[in-house]
Every structure is written in C-alpha cells, then in structure tokens.
Amino acid sequence: MQPVQTISFSPAGDDSAPGQSWQSQLSGAIRDPKALLAAVGLDERWLPGAEGGHQAFEVRVPLAYLSRIKKGDPGDPLLRQVLPLEHETHAVAGYVTDPLEEADHTPMAGLIHKYATRVLMITSGACAINCRYCFRRHFPYEDHAASRAQWGKTLDYLRDDDSLIEAILSGGDPLVSSDTRLAWLVGELDAIPHLKRLRLHTRLPVVIPDRVDDAMLEWLANTRLQKVVVLHINHANEIDDSVMKACERLRSVGVTLLNQSVLLRGVNDDVTVLRALSERLFEAGILPYYLHVLDPVAGAAHFNVPDSEAMALHDSLGEQLPGFLLPRLVREVPGDRAKTPVRADSLRQASD
Ligand code: SF4
C-alpha cells in the first residue's frame, strides 16, 4: 500500500529543478526506479531490486534532493535513504505494517491522539520524498482523507478538549498542502483559546527548500501560536546552502527549529557522521532533538542498528559534543505515554 496522493504528479525525469516553483519541483520528482538509477549514475544491475522495492513503496525523489547525491556511488548516504532495494520485499520476523499501533489511537479519521496535551492531525497523505525506512510506509492514508470537511471534524475535537495545548500537523508531509488551505487551518487553530503551540513535522524545507516561500511565511507570521518546526535530517550532506537559507527564513518569523533523525545502517551509524550532523544542524539554527532507533516496519529491516550498538554510539557522541547538541536516543513503544529512552527500554526488556 502506498500513500494516497493529494496532488497530481507528472511523470519522472523532466527538467524541473530548483529555481522553479516548489509546486513544479514537487510534480517533477522522480517516480520511476529506472529514471532514478540513470540520474544517480547506477547501471541496470540495480534495476530488479529497485523495481521490487518500488512495488512495495513507490519511488519519489525531488531533484533538489537528488542534486546532493554523489553520482555513481551506491553507498551515498542520501541515496540509501531513497533507493528501493530487493531487501524491502523480504518478510522479516517482528517487522510489521503498523509498528506503532497507530490504528489504536485514532479517535477519528485524520487524527492521532496518543499523548497528553497534544494531538496530531494527518494534514496530508503525500510526501515530497519517499524515505525507504518510513514507519508510515504502509499507513492507510486513504482512510484519513485530508479534506476540509475532515479538518472541520478534527477541529471540533480540538475545540471540545481544553486539556489540549498543542496541535501537530503531520502526514505525510503537511507542507504538501497549499498555503491557502494551511492558512485557513492555522487560522482556525489560532481561534481555539486553549491552544498555545503549533508544531509542524516536515521534511519539505530540506528536500525542496523553495517550499519556504513568502506565502508560507505569511501564515506562519500571522498566527499568535508559538511555532515549532520539527525537521527530519539524517546526514550533514542534506544541509546545503539552500537548506540553510530556508531555515534562516523560518527563524525570521519566530519559528523554533528542531530536528529528529533516524539511526540508519549505512547512512549515519557512525560517530563521526553523527557528530558532523549535530554540528551542521546547529550552523543552520536547528537543535538536534531526537535520534530515533528504527521502528520495525515491514520492508526496512536492513536499516536496523541493534540497541547495544546504538547506545554505544550515543555514548561516544556524548563524549564529543556539548549537551545541547546531543539528541535524545529514543524509540516509540506502542502504548507508552511519551517517547521512550532506548537505555530505559533496554533495562525494562532485560528485567522482563
Ligand atoms: S518524509 Fe517523513 S513521512 Fe514522508 S516518507 Fe519520509 S519519513 Fe515518511
């Protein structure tokens, strides 16, 4: 199952590139395994595996992100995040379609209410990029239509529960939605008196930095809510000058920038790489927030780093960075009321 698109995408491989509107860049994303291999300079030996993975979860790579990938290098850490592989078609014990059991925490379509004081709205069923390790790669977005009517029902839910202080827009990627729709939605959230914060979970400012345009900055600047944007960056090479600029623009309207990464085999499972990531994030005005261990989603087992290795890496990282640049090493445990520190979870498992 693949995310439902709330936008229409054109065939891959056109000439769209940074400098065009973000919408054109979005519609010009590569969506074909063969086109991806050609664009990154890999030969057709990779094709059967790429097509197999693509059947399970379709390829999607915007050209702005592609431009940061070293050509002809199958081990490039950015390419590994987006290149489908045959491993994805293997069933592995313990790897399932809904690793976080989100289906148990959806009081209504389009809304996930798992933690106290905050709710997550599925604002869009599409992403600008399809990350191979995504824990929502099997999420039934078609059951969570991001229509204005659906948003109306979730807004009623938020109005009726005055224990809520934070609304989180997620997806998919909420910034795939148009600024007209987002401005309307944020205006409605703004009018709910008990809400204090607006949070966006997005990878768009990283993969298509031109998404941070004047129209977006306008609705962000106009809300009374405190604004937090949680980006998703796994490797320092993802942060080029265009991403730096996008971050600067977000900060100019009062946005606090945080980052969550996923610890991924072959991408960032190395203390030097993780240290460089934290340093580069801070240069961009982003605080490292979480380093997640992989959620056991079907098709992504080849990215897993065992807990013992993750904890050793995190310890080494802590010896090399100031505390404010050290992300918390966590996992999501279905049923827990907050993110669970991996060390605590390990001790819990050992005592069970
Ligand atoms: S951007 Fe986020 S939600 Fe979208 S595919 Fe990547 S990890 Fe998943």
Ligand 1: does its nearest atom lie under 6 Å from the Cβ of 129? yes
- Does the pTM surpass 0.95? The reply is no
Question: Roughly how many angstroms between the first and final C-alpha of the chain, as a whole number?
Answer: 35
Task: Note the pLDDT of residue 11.
Answer: 32
Q: Which residues contact 173 (CB under 8 A, 6 or more apart)?
A: 124, 126, 127, 128, 201, 202, 203, 204
Task: Note the pLDDT of residue 268.
Answer: 98
Q: Which residues contact 329 (CB under 8 A, 6 or more apart)?
A: 263, 291, 293, 310, 311, 314, 341, 342, 343
Nearest to 36 by CA among 66, 77, 73: 66
Ligand 1: does its nearest atom lie under 6 Å from the Cβ of 112? no
Q: Which of 61, 131, 207 has most ligand 1 atoms within 8 Å of CB, for mutation?
A: 131
Task: Note the pLDDT of residue 137.
Answer: 84
Alpha carbon distance 187, 174 (integer Å): 15
For the stretch 280-315, pLDDT in tens is: 999 999 999 999 999 999 999 999 999 999 999 999
Atom of ligand 1 nearest to the CA of 127: 4
Q: What is the 261 CA–ligand 1 centroid distance (Å)? A: 11
Write the CA distances from 259 to 173, 203, 247, 281, 284, integer angstroms: 15, 10, 12, 8, 11
Task: Note the pLDDT of residue 264.
Answer: 98
Q: What is the 137 CA–ligand 1 centroid distance (Å)? A: 8
Alpha carbon distance 325, 281 (integer Å): 9
Q: What is the 126 CA–ligand 1 centroid distance (Å)? A: 9
Task: Note the pLDDT of residue 8.
Answer: 33
The alpha-helical segments, DSSP class H, found in the chain are: 22-27, 33-39, 47-56, 63-66, 148-160, 179-190, 204-207, 214-222, 241-252, 271-283, 307-320, 342-351
Q: What is the 252 CA–ligand 1 centroid distance (Å)? A: 26
Task: Note the pLDDT of residue 34.
Answer: 97
Nearest to 243 by CA among 292, 202, 197: 202
Q: What is the 170 CA–ligand 1 centroid distance (Å)? A: 10
Ligand 1: does its nearest atom lie under 6 Å from the Cβ of 292? no
Ligand 1: does its nearest atom lie under 6 Å from the Cβ of 130? yes
Per-residue pLDDT of the chain (352 residues; tens, 9 = 90+): 334 333 333 333 333 455 699 999 999 999 999 999 999 999 999 999 999 999 999 999 999 999 999 999 999 999 999 999 999 999 999 999 888 776 666 767 788 888 889 999 988 888 999 999 998 887 666 665 567 777 888 999 999 999 999 999 998 899 999 999 999 999 999 999 999 999 999 999 999 999 999 999 999 999 999 999 999 999 999 999 999 999 999 999 999 999 999 999 999 999 999 999 999 999 999 999 999 999 999 999 999 999 999 999 999 999 999 999 999 999 988 777 778 999 887 777 777 6
Q: Which of 134, 175, 297 has most ligand 1 atoms within 8 Å of CB, for mutation?
A: 134
Supply 78's token pair.
Answer: 């950015």
Q: What values do phi and psi take at 119, rounded to 5? A: -130, 155
Atom of ligand 1 nearest to the CA of 171: 3
Nearest to 189 by CA among 151, 218, 221, 163: 151
Q: What is the 204 CA–ligand 1 centroid distance (Å)? A: 10
Ligand 1: does its nearest atom lie under 6 Å from the Cβ of 173? yes
Write the CA distances from 258 to 21, 40, 224, 277, 343, integer angstroms: 26, 30, 20, 13, 22
Q: Which of 1, 81, 130 has most ligand 1 atoms within 8 Å of CB, for mutation?
A: 130
Q: Which of 60, 100, 173 has most ligand 1 atoms within 8 Å of CB, for mutation?
A: 173
Place of tokens 């990282």: 317
Q: What is the 164 CA–ligand 1 centroid distance (Å)? A: 25
Task: Note the pLDDT of residue 200.
Answer: 98
Task: Note the pLDDT of residue 140.
Answer: 66
Sign of the four-CA dihedral 309, 315, 319, 325: positive
